[in-house]
Structure 1
Amino acid sequence: MKKLFIHKPFFRLLSPLFSGTLVYLLILLINNSVADLNENFFGQELYVCIGLAYLIQEYVRFSIVIFKRIARPSSFVYRIALQIVSTLMINIVLVSLAMHVYFTKVLLYSLNSRELLIFNSIFSVIALIYILLYVSHQFLFKINTEKLEKEEWARQEIEEDFVEFKRDINPMLLFESLEAILAIMKEDPDKAELVTDRFALVYRYFLSRKKDELVPVKEEVEILEELIQLLSELPYRKVSLGKVELGNTLTVPGSMLQLLELIMRTTIPSKNKSLVVDIKESENEIIFKYIHEEKINKNLNINDLKFLSKEFSYYASQPIQILHEEDFKTIHLPKLTLA
């Protein structure tokens, strides 16, 4: 779509044959009658018209390329107006010069104003048609580009909505919890009912808080404790909260829950040792700190927190940070407040 068909070699080779022949027919019809066409059709003037058509069309194509690369004037309308005027003026000069040389050097008589007007009028129309083709192609390309951009934007929006929906549903945690409930139900129905209540509470929070922009961090910690109890039934490293020192601050709904789940899934499973996560608050941050024992093929890095970074970027300029020390790993979330 970017390349106009007038620049293609096949069109450049064949188009002047037809346009030159058409010009010659028009001139014959102006100067003669229809009955004289059979006698005067094939002649030297036909090849002159075809040759002049090659000259004019190549010149107009060259002017289109030049004006496409010129940045000034910045207005598209002014640039097209300047292109039309300058192209037609140079086109008239080229046609007049070519006709003068042909009539004086080949036919050996001077060119009259009527014949010059006919040639200039017809070839100016051809040049104008070429420019209009270019302008229409530019408008069509612009419209199609805008449509493609809108479609791409809509596709990305749908994909983002789907990813966000999938993250809210958390299918991995969903199926693992249901499987754990089914396994516990066969051994201890009362415990299975308790696990089901925790499972329902966590998912109710995920789905009900989806439309909230920010939630109190203490409310998030309450659900976090329920999630830890639910995760204890899964075959991962057991997680527990250590020191929790938080004030009256806000956070993105589900951010602390998703972060704790990532920590659990990237830690080596152990039946005997629990993973203790401390949560404390500094002046501008909420800090998760734990002794890391991460899996060989899966460690927690900043790429795993892209979705959280995007959500926090709406409310804070400070980015999420992960600091990996020899024994400890700390994750710094921006502390959010309402101005």
Structure 2
Amino acid sequence: MKAPTISKQQKWLRFLLPFPIGMVVYVLILLVFDTLNQFTANFFSQEVLVTVLLAFVLMETLRLLLNALDKRFPLVTDIQPENGEMHEFKGLTHSSRIILLPLVSLLLSVLVITPLVSVYFYFVLIISDFNTELIVFNGVYGVVAILYSVIHVSTSFLAVHKQLHYKQEQELRRGMESDLDKFKMQINPQLLYDGLENLISIVHAKPRMAEQFVNQLSKIYRYSLDNRHVELVDLKRELELSQSLLYLLNIKYSNSIDFEARLPSEWLHRQIIPCTISALIQELVNRTIINEFQPLKIRLETKDDELYFVCNHNPKIGLNGNGVWNLSLINNAYAFFNDNKQLEITQTDQQLHINIPLFEIEEE
């Protein structure tokens, strides 16, 4: 992965920065020679132009060098978002990069500034003895080169850290989306098997009921297919799906399942993850003893900003009935939207209470 540089992020800085840098260099040189009083008189002089041109040439040379080093020795060649670590360095580790790049920049500054200043003094100003001036120019532009390399290294590290963080967020989001899709797309094979079994038993004796049965069964799977790419649906649509599911279950359990949802009308437009209520109903039915003497009563209640799934508790005997409720898939789906919104079960001897967080989508 190639780290972005200053010139790639803001190309216009390549042409604007040399002017203020050149002027600052000129002021520093005047301070060294104690001739700062000449600054106003020589503001638009040849000397200022020379310092600006030297700054431009030096910065362009440093840019080319640092870009070449980034290509040859990138910060990282591979990013592992699973553990958030950067590794597989090519030659330059983080610490060595911080130390070597400023030194290389300083050396390059000397190699660039020395011949240019020498040409200026020898051929333009016709001065042969300029050793002191050469040392001053190299010293000032050396500081500029070191600062440039430090800024470059800092922005490169920040850019890599930002990209790494972005990749981690992408991986986390893809994982949550996968959990959400798994939950929404799960098709209960037991429901389909029981549905077809019940359909066979009533298709000859009660053809009208069989037709209605097929209609309700198709609504359930049509709902799952229609919402496989939908993250949230209205609570009203979720309740309609629950009614279709309860119609099928009550044929099997001889109308021994009672479902009551007396909710305020404004709650019906709140959002819920598709198939949440129906999944809870199926899980509950699989774990509960249901007959005409021990009917299953389910009701939905509102409290604060959450919906509560309340039912009587009459678990089946055996491992499947006494096992702990597994809400991990549903909670992983809810974590896609908010880690603080999770389904929790409160269990007593007589009842189960399951909170179902809802979402409110604000229209812009």
TM-score (ref. length: structure 2): 0.47
> Which has more helix, going by share of residues?
1
- For normalisation by structure 1, the TM-score amounts to 0.50
Look at both structures and tell me which one has the larger radius of gyration over its CA atoms.
Answer: 1
Q: Which has the higher contact order (CA 8 A, sep 6+)?
A: 2
